Structure 1
C-alpha cells in the first residue's frame, strides 16, 4: 500500500546496532514494496565524522548484509540509498541542532519523525534540544526500550518528554506488537465467534507465554548487567503479550480502543506480595554449557559482566488476573537467554473433558499453540479416534502455517511499526498509562531481588532454565509444553 504522505525520518543513533540490524533494513523493505512516498527522506544522525558518501559506504558494509538476499534488487537498493542523508551531531552542542534544523527545513515538507535509537539517558536531552530549535511542533517521536530503570525513572522520562511532545505524538515502540502472529491473535479472537465462548476461566485451565533465546548477551554485557531479564523482557514484551491474550473485545481496532482494554488487564494483575515472591517468581543465570554442539561460556564470564554478578538471565512467573473472565486461571510467563531453543509462543491449555465417556484419555489435552517465532503459525490440538477396532484416541492437530497458506510476503515487525509511525497509527504502540501499570506490577519483584542475599538459580546453557521453573508449574498439576512432548 502506497503511503501518500511526504515524510522525513530522522534516525538518531544512525550508526548503532539497532539501525544496522533492524531499522534501516525495515525501511529498505518498505521502499522496495512501494510503501513510502517517493519524496520521503531518511536523515541519519550520529557523532561519527562521516560525510554523506562515507555514511552510504558504511551502509553498504554494515546494513546490506541484513537485507534478505533472496529477492535483492541492486536498482531498488540504489534508489533506497538516494533517500538517505547524514548529519554529524554532537548532543552537547546546541549549534549542531540548529544545523540539523536548517537541513531539515531544506527538505520537502511533510510529516517529520524522530526515532531515538539511543540509550534512554539521551531521550530527554535530545527532546529538549529539538524543542529549543522548534523541531517538536507537529512531529512524531519514537522511543525505544528500555524506557527507564524502574517506575520512578520511567515517570521522569515520560514527564520530561511529555512537556515537549503531546501523548499522541509519542510512539513507545515494542517490536513484538508488530509481529504478524500478534495481529493474527487479535484476528483469531475477535474475528471468529468460535473461540470467544471458550476464552474464559470456565474452559481454560492455564496459559503459558514463552520468549526463549539461544543467544547470550552478545557483547552487550555492560548494558545487560544493569538491566536483567525482568526489565528487558517481562516489563514490556511479556506483559504486552499477556494483555493482548487476556483483553476484552475492543470497540474497534484503533489506538485508544485497543490500548484501553490492554490497560484494564494490566491494572487487574494480582499484586505480588513480598512474602509470596519466592512462590511465584523464579530467577536464574546461565552457566557454561553446550548449544547445538558449541560450548558457550557462563554469563559471569561474558565481556563486561562482573564475575560476581547477580543479574538474572532467566525469569519465570506465575501471574493471576483478578477479573471475572480470568479469576483463578494461572498465566505462566517465561523468558531467558542461552536456552535450548529460540522460540516465542503462547499456549492456551483448555480444561480436560468432565467425563471420559470414551474410556481412558491419552496424554495431552485440547490446546491452542500460537507460535510467534521462528515460524509463525497457529496449531489447535484435539483428540481423534485412531483407525481400527475400538475407541483408542490420539492427539492430532489442525495447523495454520502462515507461510504456506498466505503466499504474499509478510512484513517484519519493525517494517510494520515504522509504517504505522509514518501513517500516524498508534494502536500498536504503548501508551504511558500502560507502561506505568506494568512497572508498578514488576517493581515489588525487583525490590525483593535487590535485597535478597541469595542470587539467581544456576542453569546450564542449552537447557530450559532452572528446575525451580518446572517445579512451580508442577505445583499446579501442569508442565511447560516441551516437557510434555
Structure 2
C-alpha cells in the first residue's frame, strides 16, 4: 500500500542523532518546501519536556548544527513539532503517545533511534496503542543486533507488527550522493560496464578512515569494535554496490535483489586474510591524542582497526580480491572506493623506453565527493631519447560540476523517502542477515585463533601487518 505519511514520530528525539542529523534534515526539507505543509512531527524520549520545551530544544540544536543559509522558515518548522515524554520499557505511556500522534489514517512514519534493547518493548507498546495499522511504517536505525542471532530477534520482533514492505532499515551511507552516483557511473555509461569484471579489474579497495577516537561512544564501541561498527553495514553495502549485477529497474526490489546476491556470494574469510589493530597514543594533525586504552580507562581487546581480503565467488568477480580497511585515529578522514584495472596486455611503447601504469578509478565519498580516473598520456617532447608516458588524472569534483545544486546530507533524502514510502535506499532483512552471517564467521575465526589486535600509533594507517596483507599480492593501499 503506497501512501505519503502526514505524521512522523521520532523515538530518541532528544538524542545525539536527532540533534545533529534528524532535526536539521527535517528543517532543511521544510525550508525547501519538500515536505507537505500538513506533516506533523512528534518527538518522544525519556526527557520530561512539553511542546514548548521541545521546540526550544530543537531551536538550539538547529542553531548549532544547521548552516544559517538553510534555516529558512525555522519558526514554521518549529510549529510542526510536538513532544510526548515516554518510558519505552512499560506499556503505560503508549496510549498517551497515540493520543498525541492523533489519527493515522493518512499515514504515520515511525523513526526508531533507540538502544537495540528497547526495540522489542517499543514494538509491543506501539501494538498496544494501535500504532501498527496498514498506514504505519517503521524505520530502524542501526545497530540492528550484535550478531546474526540477536539481529534475527530484533527483526522477528519488528516483523510481528510490521510486514517487510513497511520496514525501513537505515544505512546512512546509502543516502550519500556519491554512493548513488556509483550506480549512475556503472549503469548510465557504456564505457564502464563492459570492463567491470575479472577480465579487466585487478582488485578493488574500500577504505573508511576516521581521525576521531571514542567521542562519547565508549560503552557502545567497546562492545562492538570496528568489524561490527563499520564493516558489517557501511562497507559491505559499498562492496555490494560495486559488485552487483545490473538490476532490471531502479526500484527497491530489483536493486536489493542484486545486492543480496553479492552478499551471499562472499567467500568465507580464511586464516591470514584479516588484520586487527588497536591505536596507541600518537598525534593527529599535529595534536597529541591518547591511546584507546587511555580513553577507555581500562585494558581491552576490542579492535579499532580491521583490514580484510575478501572475495566474491561468482562469474563476474572470480579471483578479484576486495581489500577492505577501516579504523579510528587514522591520519585522514576518508571514505573512498578504488577500482584498479589490469595493465594493457601488450605495451607497444616498451621498445621506446616507456613504462606503463594501469588505469585507476577512485570514487571519493567523504570528506569530498569526487571521481578521478587516471589515464596514461604522452609527455610532450620530440622523443629523441625515447617516449615518456605519465599518468594524468581526469577529475570530476561533484560540488564543482553541480555548483547550482543544493548539497544535501544523507538523512534528508532518507527521511523524505521514509515519509513517501520509497525503500530503494534502505536495507532489506535478507541483506542484513547475509552481512551478519559473513561477519559472524570472521569473529568465529578470530576466537578460534585467539587473535588479539596489533597495536598501531594514532596518526598512522594501522598496523604494518595491514600493509603486508596487500603487499603479499603486489598491491599497495591507496593513500
- Is 1:27 the counterpart of 2:18? The answer is no
Structure 1 partner of 2:234: 237
Structure 1 partner of 2:372: 379
- Is 1:350 the counterpart of 2:341? The answer is yes
- Is 1:267 the counterpart of 2:241? The answer is no
Task: Compute the TM-score of the two structures, normalised by the length of structure 2.
Answer: 0.96
Structure 2 partner of 1:185: 182
Q: CA deviation at 1:362?
A: 4.3
1:148-173 per-position Cα deviation (integer Å, ceiling 9, x unaligned):
01001101111111111100111010
> How many residues matched?
471
Q: CA deviation at 1:102?
A: 1.1
Q: 1:92 to 1:268 in 2, by over 3 A?
A: closer
User: In 1, Cα distance between the equivalents of 2:315 and 2:413?
Assistant: 34
* Aligned match for 1:282, one of 263, 275, 293: 275
- Partners of 1:6 and 1:39 within 8 A in 2: no
Structure 1 residues 80-91: aligned runs within 5 Å = 80-91=77-88
Structure 1 partner of 2:127: 131
After TM superposition, the runs of 4+ consecutive aligned structure 1 residues lying more than 3 A away are: 70-73, 360-364, 450-454
- Is 1:315 the counterpart of 2:314? The answer is no
Structure 1 residues 397-476: aligned runs within 5 Å = 397-406=393-402, 407-476=404-473
Structure 2 partner of 1:53: 52
- Is 1:327 the counterpart of 2:318? The answer is yes
1:355-391 per-position Cα deviation (integer Å, ceiling 9, x unaligned):
2211245474201100001110111111001111222
1:455-476 per-position Cα deviation (integer Å, ceiling 9, x unaligned):
2011111111111111010011
* Aligned match for 2:291, one of 295, 298, 310: 298
Structure 2 partner of 1:214: 211
User: In 2, Cα distance between the equivalents of 1:215 and 1:365?
Assistant: 34
User: In 2, Cα distance between the equivalents of 1:72 and 1:459?
Assistant: 42
- Partners of 1:7 and 1:109 within 8 A in 2: no
Q: CA deviation at 1:454?
A: 4.5
Structure 1 residues 240-251: aligned runs within 5 Å = 240-251=237-248
Q: What secondary structure is seen at the aligned counterpart in 1 of 2:326?
A: strand
Q: CA deviation at 1:341?
A: 0.2
Q: CA deviation at 1:51?
A: 1.2
Q: CA deviation at 1:179?
A: 0.5
Structure 1 residues 99-178: aligned runs within 5 Å = 99-105=96-102, 110-138=106-134, 139-178=136-175
- Partners of 2:142 and 2:170 within 8 A in 1: yes
- Partners of 2:152 and 2:433 within 8 A in 1: yes
Q: CA deviation at 1:452?
A: 4.4
- Is 1:66 the counterpart of 2:59? The answer is no
User: In 1, Cα distance between the equivalents of 2:88 and 2:287?
Assistant: 42
Q: 1:118 to 1:362 in 2, by over 3 A?
A: farther
User: In 1, Cα distance between the equivalents of 2:45 and 2:367?
Assistant: 32
Q: What secondary structure is seen at the aligned counterpart in 2 of 1:98?
A: helix
Q: CA deviation at 1:92?
A: 3.2
Q: What secondary structure is seen at the aligned counterpart in 2 of 1:94?
A: coil
Q: What secondary structure is seen at the aligned counterpart in 1 of 2:93?
A: helix
When the two chains are superposed, the root-mean-square deviation of aligned CA atoms in Å is 1.6
Structure 2 partner of 1:78: 75
Q: What secondary structure is seen at the aligned counterpart in 2 of 1:283?
A: strand
User: In 2, Cα distance between the equivalents of 1:415 and 1:248?
Assistant: 28
User: In 2, Cα distance between the equivalents of 1:454 and 1:263?
Assistant: 29
- Partners of 1:172 and 1:429 within 8 A in 2: yes
- Is 1:16 the counterpart of 2:15? The answer is yes
- Is 1:341 the counterpart of 2:338? The answer is no
User: In 2, Cα distance between the equivalents of 1:183 and 1:23?
Assistant: 20
- Partners of 2:5 and 2:109 within 8 A in 1: no
User: In 1, Cα distance between the equivalents of 2:68 and 2:471?
Assistant: 45
Structure 2 partner of 1:365: 358
1:255-311 per-position Cα deviation (integer Å, ceiling 9, x unaligned):
010000001101111122xxx33x111111111110011111101111xx3522000
Q: CA deviation at 1:351?
A: 0.4
User: In 1, Cα distance between the equivalents of 2:164 and 2:222?
Assistant: 31
Q: CA deviation at 1:448?
A: 2.8
Q: CA deviation at 1:449?
A: 2.4
1:425-470 per-position Cα deviation (integer Å, ceiling 9, x unaligned):
1111110011111111111211232454452011111111111111
Q: CA deviation at 1:118?
A: 0.7
- Partners of 1:12 and 1:115 within 8 A in 2: yes
User: In 1, Cα distance between the equivalents of 2:260 and 2:85?
Assistant: 40
User: In 1, Cα distance between the equivalents of 2:432 and 2:468?
Assistant: 30
- Partners of 2:89 and 2:118 within 8 A in 1: no
1:183-240 per-position Cα deviation (integer Å, ceiling 9, x unaligned):
1110111111110110000000000011111111101111100000100110111011
Q: What secondary structure is seen at the aligned counterpart in 2 of 1:82?
A: helix
